[in-house]
Structure 1
Amino acid sequence: MKLNLKLGLLLLGAAISGSVLAQDLSGTWQQIDDKTGSPKAVIAISKESNGTYTGQIVKITPRPGYTPREICNKCPAPYTNKPILGMELLKGLKHVEGTNNYEHGRVIDPLAGKIYDAKMKLSASGKRLTLRAYMGVSALGRNQTWIRID
């Protein structure tokens, strides 16, 4: 009887962890500023037909003492002088099979006008994303937290 109970709990645990790993990034996320801890923008992430993920800025969160920039004037083409609201800031993320990790993406920082390599890790609960943006070597990048709001 104890063996059956242990086996049942083990299978249940595997089923639960498998369902968490099967979650995707699609949804609406609140981007949190890694320097101030305050909300920055709302990002809608969707899965493309080729299986990669794309994120678009759908709302810029007002912050005290900060006037948001409307145009990406320091950004490289094709983002040059484009509106930040509605901008596709994340693209190309691919799920790493059997994990909560997503890699090989690109992310643009519209305030600095720079494009970075990107990878993300989805929390076990599916409610938090950790974005790692870097140039060349991941160890030399920065993390940013995004919180699911849908």
Structure 2
Amino acid sequence: MTHFSQRARTMALTAAKRAALAGALFAGAAMAFAQGTSTPVGTWKTIDDSTHQPKALVRITQDSDGTLSGKVVKGLNPNEKPGRLCTACTDERKDQPMLGMTIIKSMKQDGDTWDDGNILDPENGKVYKCKMHLEDGGNKLIVRGYIGVSLLGRSQTWIREADDAAQAKN
């Protein structure tokens, strides 16, 4: 009888460990899903302020220090000549190709927003302070570039690329 009780206890512990492991895996998957739609990391379609047409794809990544940066990965304007350079830039990006250029730097998370970084407008070469937050379940990124205080600036709504949204849900 003792041998049977010992074996039953071992089986019960094994079942409990399996349940705990399954719970941990489920929680990890749920956390990964939530993180995918609660962070700006991913690829975003920018919209031209004047024409309201898609302008470029910007991939936002998390750097080793936890800050976010964003790089132009594709131009979407069919009328734009390939290989355009940032002739208006005044920093190390002067006369560098816009494609592949890092335009967002040093964004730090502060609750539901990211700020303390900057964004470059490659059209005019100006660097602005930047603030951004997610809306619409993580599918829209509101990006605000400003000088001095946030009231003196403009906002753009960027749209998460469908592939990133689908990956975030898997």
- TM-score class, shorter-chain normalisation, is 0.7 to 0.9
2:84 corresponds to:
70
Identity of aligned residues (%): 40
Q: Which runs of 4+ in 1 moved over 3 A?
A: 19-22, 66-69
Larger Rg, first or second structure (1 or 2): 2
Any stretches of 5+ residues in structure 1 without a counterpart? 1-14
Q: Which residue, out of 100, 103, 110, partners 1:86? A: 100
The residue matched to 1:125 in structure 2 has which SS?
helix
2:55 corresponds to:
40
The residue matched to 1:138 in structure 2 has which SS?
coil
TM-score of the superposed pair, with normalisation by structure 2: 0.70
1:10 corresponds to:
none
Whole-angstrom CA distance in 1 between matches of 2:124 and 2:103: 13
Whole-angstrom CA distance in 1 between matches of 2:37 and 2:71: 22
Asked if residue 106 in structure 1 is aligned to residue 118 in structure 2, the reply is yes
User: Comparing both structures, which one devotes a greater share of its residues to helix?
Assistant: 2
Any stretches of 5+ residues in structure 2 without a counterpart? 1-29, 165-170
Q: Which residue, out of 125, 130, 138, partners 1:118? A: 130
Whole-angstrom CA distance in 1 between matches of 2:103 and 2:62: 14
TM-score of the superposed pair, with normalisation by structure 1: 0.79
The residue matched to 2:89 in structure 1 has which SS?
coil
Work out the number of aligned pairs and report it: 131
Amino acid at match of 1:73: T
Q: Is the 8 A contact 1:34 1:145 kept in 2?
A: no
- Cα-Cα RMSD: 2.2
Whole-angstrom CA distance in 2 between matches of 1:141 and 1:78: 24
